Amino acid sequence: MGQLILDVDTGVDDALALMVAARHADWNLRAVTCVAGNTSLEGVVRNTLTVLDAVGATDVPVAAGAARPLLGEPRDAGHVHGSDGLADLGWPRSARAPEAIHAVELLRREILASPEPVTLVPLAPMTNIALLLRTYPEVAANIGRIVFMGGSASAGNASPVAEFNVWHDPEAAQIVISSGLPVTMYGLDVFYSAAVEAPDIELLLKADDAGCRLSGQLLSHLARVNGDDFRLKLPGSAGLGDAGAVCAVIDPEGLETSELRVEVSLSSSLTRGQTVVDQRTKASEATLPHGHLSRDSIDVALGVDGRRYAALFLDTIRSHDGK
């Protein structure tokens, strides 16, 4: 069985990612760590425990990590995720408390204890992961791959060129990207392409199972708030967002990647947080000293079979529904 750890800023689409990770039969969700991003750290922990309860994953350990980026102040995304970070649905909160240790300690414990290399899936600003790699570099030996949601080889969302997770903590993202570990960037180039269509959202809303109903409510919220985004092709549909990155771990054949050099812009200018992806194809240009990215290559997702991932998401979420 595959060994999985998620690092989240739950977050409506993080919630969908938690659900599919907790319910897929081939993967063991060993732990979930929380970081400030879409909402405050306290809100992220509360939302994460609430979502895990809704899908019956009450034994997955959860820990709180960084309340702010390595540099600068936290900046939430309430305009997308609602004032509570979970679409303001009023869903009953979990009574469970997080582990009494920092996220970095939980990550270390679970990575070192895993019988097989862990797939680490950061779906949020990568502050916790950067702190982990700097504090306990020995964990790298038992990390099989890092598949992160973040970055873009084209347009941004938090700024014209920067994607929210990388923009929120560019230094942390650069530490992860240049770690030398096998890394896959599941960025905005594919983020919007895996979407659940309106009739399937309706079916989820009517399900017996609480996890299905919560996912239906979250997807309805996303369809509403992202309805004006031209990247979503079908009216009434809702992008899986972060959940698509978990689908990419479960079913990597559905993702097209290219091995490319990537470096994060750490300047204080308009490009801060941009993932500069070297897509030059002429060898003599790509090696010119004046335009050479210094870092290692990572796998950058440039295409996705969105229908395949939507089907994977729905089958997995519905696997516990009586209907």
Residues near Ca ion (CB under 5 A) are 9, 11, 14, 123-124, 242
List Cβ neighbours of 315 (8 Å cut-off, separation of 6 or more).
Answer: none
Nearest to 155, CA basis, from 252, 230, 75, 267: 230
Q: Which of 62, 103, 107, 149 binds ligand BDR (CB under 6 A)?
A: 149
Nearer to ligand BDR, 114 or 265 (CB): 265
Q: Which stretch binds ligand BDR (CB under 6 A): 21-29, 50-58, 160-168, 226-234?
A: 160-168
Residue 157, contacted partner among ligand BDR, Ca ion, none, CB below 5-8 A by kind:
ligand BDR
Segment 259-288, which members bind ligand BDR (CB under 6 A)?
A: none
Residue 109 and residue 159 in contact, taking contact as beta carbons nearer than 8 Å: no
Nearest to 77, CA basis, from 160, 11, 25: 11
Segment 217-236, which members bind ligand BDR (CB under 6 A)?
A: none
Q: How far apart are CA 133 and CA 172, in angstroms?
A: 10
Instruction: Tell me: does residue 7 bind ligand BDR (CB under 6 A).
Output: no
Instruction: Tell me: does residue 13 bind ligand BDR (CB under 6 A).
Output: yes
Element (H, E) at 243: helix 242-250
Residue 209 and residue 320 in contact, taking contact as beta carbons nearer than 8 Å: yes
Amino acid occupying residue 9: D
Instruction: Tell me: does residue 209 bind ligand BDR (CB under 6 A).
Output: no
Q: Which stretch binds ligand BDR (CB under 6 A): 86-94, 162-170, 216-224, 254-262?
A: 162-170
Question: Under the rule (CB under 6 A), what is the footprint of ligand BDR?
Answer: 11, 13-14, 38, 77, 80, 123-124, 149, 157, 163-165, 241-242
